[in-house]
Each structure stands twice: as C-alpha cells, then as structure tokens.
Amino acid sequence: MKAPERYYDFQKDISGCGVFGVISREKKLISGDMPINAMACMHDRGNGLGGGFAAYGIYPEHADKYAFHIMCDDRRGVEGSEHLLRQYFDIHEFEPIPTRETLAIHNPPLVNRYFVTVREDKPEDLSKLPEDDYVVAVVMKLNTQVPGAFVFSSGKDMGVFKGVGYPEDIAEFFRLDEYKGYIWTGHNRFPTNTPGWWGGAHPFTILNWSIVHNGEISSYGINRRYLCEHDYLCTLMTDTEVVAYELDLLIRKHGLSWNLAAKVFAPPFWEEIKTMPEQQRELHTALRYTYGSGMLNGPFAILVADNNRLMGLNDRIKLRPLLVAEKDDMVFMSSEEASVREVCPELDRVWMPKAGEPVIIDVKE
C-alpha cells in the first residue's frame, strides 16, 4: 500500500482525471449504480491508478457517530489503529468494510470501519480541544503515528470508498451498488505527479468534507506549509489532500461562507478587484492578503461536498472541464455531459459554469 520505491522516477503521462457528482435536493436516496455508471462512462479519463466515491446519507442508523474508514497494510496496522482509536473514542460498532473479490483489484489493503463517539474522559493531550478539532487531531495522529494505517473517511452519515483501480472496479470491490445516498461524488484518477496508491486516490476527506479533483495544484508546497501551521499534516502524497483540510480550516474553523472559501481557492484577478465597488474591493483585497497561502494555483475542476451541499468550482482561467445539469430535484456536476446523459438522458438544463465562480447546491431542510 505504501508508495512504491523511487516513485518519482515514474514516467509522466498526459492528464485527464474525471469527476462526477449528483445531489438530490429533496434528499431522495440515489442508488450507487448511478455514480458508478456515470464514472464508467468516463473510463478513459483515468488509467486504473485510482478510483473512488463519496456517499452521503449511507449510515442513517449511526448518524450521531463518526464513521471512521481505515485502510491498513497489515494486521499490525489494524491493531495499532484500533489501539489508538480506543484511547480517544468509544467504539460502538466495528467491522471489516464489506468487499467483493474482484479480478481487477490487486492486493487491496485491509479496510475496516468504526462507528465512534468521543470519550467522556478525553486523554490529557487533546482534552482541551472542541469536539471536531479533537476528531481532526486523532485523524492526524493516526495518519502520522501508526505505521501502515490511514484514515480515509471520518465524517457522520457519510463515507468514502477508494483505492487503486478504475472507479467501476473500486465500486465493485466495495459493493457500492448496495448503498444509497442523497449526495454522491466519484473520481477517476490519472496520476501525473504523485504515485497511484490506495491512500492517494480521491476523494480526500476530513470530518464531513469530501473533495474530488481533476487537475493539479502547483501551490501544494505553500498550501501544505500553511496547513501545517494550523495542525493539519499532509500524509497522503497527493496535492488534493490540501483542499480537504483547507475546507475544514476556512469554513468550519474560520467561519467563511462556502462562496468566500471558493474565492480563496480561485481569487479574482487584481485587475478585476480594482474595478469592483468599494466594499467588494475591500473584501476581496482582504481575502487575498489573509489567505494568499491558501490560494490554489494550477488547473482544477473540483467537486466539494458535506452532508447538506455540493459545490463545483473551476480554477479562474478554466483549465479543466466542468458541466452542471439539472433534472427535477437532482443536480449533476461532471467533467463530461456524456456521463450525465448516461444515467439521466433527459435533462432540464445543462450549462458550463464561469471560471472561478462556484456552483453551490443545497439540500432542502
């Protein structure tokens, strides 16, 4: 499961990841078949070195507990991660994540899930942290301190399933056709700069946040150092990891709106800011000054979700494709219209959003 030796010597290839997302505004449950078939339609955007899905609304019976998905190289990793989990959490239920044996998936890691709540008697080292920060801190601890173990999902009533393979094969492996959720995102990976390994597949998550990304984040270095100052430690060797942690920092901890967080990721150009009305100008100037280290430089089309929302966003000069479509209470976001038509041939509206302008869709409460 660890990145192969000398992974940086691997030959690079042209990029072309694929992303797909769907949200039911009425919170109607959508079978995993829909995102699976949509991703399979974009098979050629990836090369079999990474596929994955995020699903919301899949654990209603455990909605009050954090659902930890953990992948481990071996039994030692499982024991190490369980030992650490028990120190910080009450584990209410745990089991291997149900999988199918499939020919396409080789040497999968051990994948387990744990439904946990924070212990009443928090250990001294993290006892002062508010609950969400406490959970984030445990994820960082596990990822950095337990050899051969990684948390790949840690939210409530949601889960991420990912690994090395085409998305349809990963879905077969994780039996995603058996799940139903009201928000789904999917990813087909074509790694360019970093290794194709299980932890490096998309989506990336922390708490309820999930992100899938087509593109590359050239600012990874500065973003990573910025996050490190805020106790987010990047361990998964893929640029997209920074976006998951930035969402948590900017929106949950700093209280920015999703729209403003999108403007941190893809800020307006200075010459655009110059022509804005005064209040807007001050706002965007302040955002750029404050969060310069959080800006995502490079080409991207990203889909971000939590339990109530799906957001699509392009880099500000639109170097990757992104399409939005609507049908009744469903909204789709995808790299290709074909993938949407594959699962929903008749659409009410189809459009391509403006570069740098987020498309934010909420579920109705």
Partner 1 sequence: MSGKKITLDAKGKYYKQFNELIRQKAQEGYTDFVLENVNGHRYIATALCGDLKITIKGVAGQDTGAFMGGPHLRISGNAQDGIGNTMDSGKIAINGMAGDVLGYAMRGGSIFVRSDVGYRCGIHMKAYKDYVPEIVVGGKAGDFLGEYMAGGIILLLGMFSDKPDAPVAGRSLGTGMHGGVIYVRGSVPESQLGPNLHTQPVDEDDLQTIRRLVDAFALEFELDAETVMNENFVKIRPFSHRPYGNLYVAT
Check: CB of residue 328 under 8 Å from CB of residue 14. no
Between 185 and 314, CB nearer to partner 1: 314
Min dist. Cβ of residue 338 to partner 1 (A): 2
Contacts with partner 1 in 18-57 (CB under 8 A)?
Answer: 41-42, 44
Binder of partner 1 out of 317, 328, 348, 362 (CB under 8 A): 317
Min dist. Cβ of residue 79 to partner 1 (A): 45
Min dist. Cβ of residue 40 to partner 1 (A): 11
Q: Determine the residue type at 27.
A: K
Query: In this structure, is the dihedral angle defined by the CA atoms of residues 32, 34, 35 and 37, taken in order, positive or negative?
Result: positive
In whole angstroms, what separates CA 99 from the centre of its chain? Answer: 21
Binder of partner 1 out of 114, 342, 359, 361 (CB under 8 A): 342
Range in contact with partner 1 (rule: CB under 8 A) among 84-92, 137-145, 235-243, 316-324: 316-324
Q: Could you tell me the two tokens for 343?
A: 């699962």
Q: Determine the residue type at 85.
A: L
Euclidean distance between CA atoms 154 and 136, whole angstroms = 8
Min dist. Cβ of residue 121 to partner 1 (A): 55
Euclidean distance between CA atoms 79 and 200, whole angstroms = 22
Binder of partner 1 out of 285, 321, 326, 329 (CB under 8 A): 321
- Can residue 352 be called a binding residue for partner 1 (CB under 8 A)? yes
Cα angle 352, 354, 357; round to 5: 120
Contacts with partner 1 in 227-246 (CB under 8 A)?
Answer: none
Work out the widest C-alpha separation in the chain, in whole angstroms. Answer: 60
- Can residue 346 be called a binding residue for partner 1 (CB under 8 A)? no
Between 326 and 329, CB nearer to partner 1: 326
Between 143 and 339, CB nearer to partner 1: 339
Q: Determine the residue type at 157.
A: D
Binder of partner 1 out of 120, 275, 279, 365 (CB under 8 A): 275
- Can residue 338 be called a binding residue for partner 1 (CB under 8 A)? yes
Phi, psi of 138 (to 5 degrees): -65, -40
Phi, psi of 158 (to 5 degrees): -150, 165
- Can residue 350 be called a binding residue for partner 1 (CB under 8 A)? yes
In whole angstroms, what separates CA 149 from the centre of its chain? Answer: 18
**Catalytic site includes residue 17:** yes
Residues in binding contact with partner 1, number by CB under 8 A: 20
Phi, psi of 208 (to 5 degrees): -85, -5
Min dist. Cβ of residue 247 to partner 1 (A): 25
* Chain length of the chain: 365
Cis ω on the peptide bond leading into residue 203 (within 30° of 0)?
yes
Euclidean distance between CA atoms 77 and 74, whole angstroms = 5
Min dist. Cβ of residue 259 to partner 1 (A): 17
- Can residue 355 be called a binding residue for partner 1 (CB under 8 A)? yes
- Can residue 337 be called a binding residue for partner 1 (CB under 8 A)? yes
- Can residue 270 be called a binding residue for partner 1 (CB under 8 A)? no
- Can residue 349 be called a binding residue for partner 1 (CB under 8 A)? yes
Check: CB of residue 189 under 8 Å from CB of residue 51. yes
- Can residue 354 be called a binding residue for partner 1 (CB under 8 A)? yes
Min dist. Cβ of residue 337 to partner 1 (A): 5
Q: Give the DSSP H/E element, type plus range, for residue 187.
A: strand 183-188
* Residues within the interface to partner 1 (CB under 8 A): 41-42, 44, 275, 317-318, 321, 323, 336-339, 341-342, 349-352, 354-355
| Catalytic positions | 17
